Chains A and B, each alone.
Chain A
Amino acid sequence: MADPTKEESTAAQETAAAQDPTAQQNAQVLTLLHSLFGEATFTDVHEPYGLLTVTTKREHIHNIVAGLQQDETLKFHFLTTMCGINYPENLNQELGMIYHLHSLVHNIRLRIKIFFPVADPVVPTLSDIYATANWMEREAYDFYGVIFTGHPNLRRILNVEDMDYFPMRRQYPLEDGTREDKTDLFFGR
């Protein structure tokens, strides 16, 4: 049985969302994304703190970023930043890359996420679309071991070149695991 008060509140939320300019912009971006790349491409669409966030598959990421850059309606011409992330408990989705795009003309930001298994951390490069992706991808390779196919110069950037692990992965604790003097049951050091 439908709860009438609940329905009212969703209706109220919808009108509030319709009046909120950020929500309107986000709806517009989402429509554009769906029309350009198909609805099935995007999963897990949400707007944490007003920033439209979508998840897609790594096969599509190059097309999406290139397509958005060429698209003349919303003009996503600026790659703000990208970073890796590691969720060891998500099976076959352990590693991720998070891209922040920005349309400087319309002032809309967009966050795109992709996840992939740690055993096969291969992602297409964006350095052919944005020159700025070059070092960002080297950084992600350096810290998370994400391999960008087609990258012109995929070397470590901040760490020493002969390092043989990827330090930002969660399996590497920050402090020396053999030290016992810092163990504290209550405050988790």
Chain B
Amino acid sequence: MAVNDALAGTHKIVEEAQEQQGGQLVPTLNDFSQELTTLNLGPTHPATHGIFQNILQMDGERIISGVPTIGYIHRAFEKIAERRPFYQITPLTDRMNYCSSPINNMGWHLTVEKLLGITVPKRAQYMRVIMMELARIADHLICNSILGVDTGAFTGFLYVFQEREKIYEIYEEVCGSRLTTNMGRVGGMERDFSPVAIEKLRTWLKEFPAVMKEFETMFNRNRIFMDRVVNVGPITAEKALNYGFTGPNLRAAGVDYDVRVMNPYSSYEDFEFDIPVGTNGDTYDRFLVRNEEIWQSLRIINQALDRLPDGPFHADAPHYYLPAKEAVYKNMEALIYHFKIIMGEIDAPVGEVYQSVEGGNGELGFYLVSDGGRTPYRLHFRRPCFIYYQAYSEMVVGTSLSDAIVILSSMNVIAGELDA
């Protein structure tokens, strides 16, 4: 059978490759002659903040090589998506980068809207921008405060997690859920911002900057923290690009690539904000870039909230956007559309679309191939974590174990996004 033949050929290739590498690919035994130690970092080590494994070869405290193993929480989202109507794929995207679910949700909606040719009203676009920037702040807060925890500073983590909780309360007001948000719909948002949501947002916008300032005061010029992170795990811009880095990790290396500016979506071109960049791409730069991005996100939210246009919060696309519940009970057409959308009976046009958004970790891309059916023919997620995590084994060589933990933490590898 063709598949088996192909498989046999592959096994041969794999064996040859392993021979070429001198068997270094899968180090399993401790080599006593050279006094090297094999250390399993993960898959359930508390400092990896997620389920993935690194088999490290150590010479005393120094790391000689690292072999990553991933896939522990692989859930076959790309395969599942081939059998789901578009609106049922949104909850799958939640579970990729679960620290900033709304960005994933909006990215998916934008992809489908591009395929269907739906133009979303300005108000919905601004609402989306507000939610996406809140998600970015939550994402960066987690990353940076956990970096603090990994270097031994627990206090900052407790301070900012209070604020993250408030962001989640805003999510709750806007969409009803907190972590896996399933926010918005193809064509807009599922409901308008409630007065409570606006009130909570305004209060938070007033209170958060003070906390953020305190957090920065605690870390930015802290001697103990700087000793742990400056010049740890640096990466050059060329290497970062070659490894496919995007997002804060690439910007820390000095490349000002940001999808929000390069390919503006959802009206990002209306707002004024800066793209912070670092110089040598080490852990400290990544930390500072994320902190500065939080301030820039705040600027965007303030602008969007002040200039929030009036108008509908969803596009007029009855074939794809669920009708209001009251209309479903009273109106025949609404009932028909409701039924057809929920049962996934509406075909999409033939086409292929690539849409990317600036996720918490970098360029989050959706490549959607539609053959005209009710589900995607093929859906590929470009997950930034998956792509840049492969540089990790090169970045840790020559460092110590405690540095390896700090590097991992500053790269913000989210297991859900890594494995999809």
- Which A residues are within 8 Å of any B CB, using their own CB? 48-49, 51, 53, 77-81, 83, 85, 98, 100, 104, 107, 109, 111, 118-119, 121-122, 130-132, 134-136, 139, 141, 143, 145, 147, 149, 151-160, 164-168, 174-175, 187
Contact = CB atoms under 8 A, between A and B. Distances in A.
Interface of B: 2-3, 5-7, 9-10, 13-14, 17-18, 20-21, 25, 70-71, 74, 76, 78-80, 82-83, 114-115, 239, 241-244, 255, 257, 262-263, 343-345, 351-354, 356, 363, 365, 367, 369, 378, 380, 382, 386-391, 419-420
Nearest to B114: A49
A187 B344 contact: yes
A165 to B, nearest CB: 7
Contact of A164 (B7, B17, B70, B419): B7
Contact of B13 (A80, A134, A149): A149
Contacts, number: 124
Given A48-B352, A187-B343, A131 B390 contact: yes
B380 A81 contact: yes
- Interface of A, secondary structure class, is loop
A150 B326 CA distance: 61
B194 to A, nearest CB: 35
A154 B6 contact: no
A51 B242 CA distance: 22
26 contacts: A48-B353, A78-B241, A79-B244, A81-B365, A81-B380, A81-B387, A98-B367, A98-B380, A100-B367, A104-B257, A107-B263, A111-B354, A119-B6, A131-B239, A131-B390, A131-B391, A132-B390, A145-B7, A147-B13, A151-B13, A152-B17, A153-B21, A158-B70, A166-B3, A167-B79, A174-B82
Given A149-B13, A187-B343, A135 B241 contact: no
A118 B79 contact: no
A29 to B, nearest CB: 15
A53 B74 contact: no
Nearest to A117: B2
A157 B6 contact: no
A131 B236 CA distance: 14
Contacts of B80: 174
The 4 nearest A-B residue pairs measured at CB: A132-B244, A158-B71, A83-B380, A81-B382
B10 to A, nearest CB: 5
Contacts of A98: 367, 380
A141 B378 CA distance: 16
B354 A109 contact: yes
Nearest to A152: B17
A140 to B, nearest CB: 10
B2 A118 contact: yes
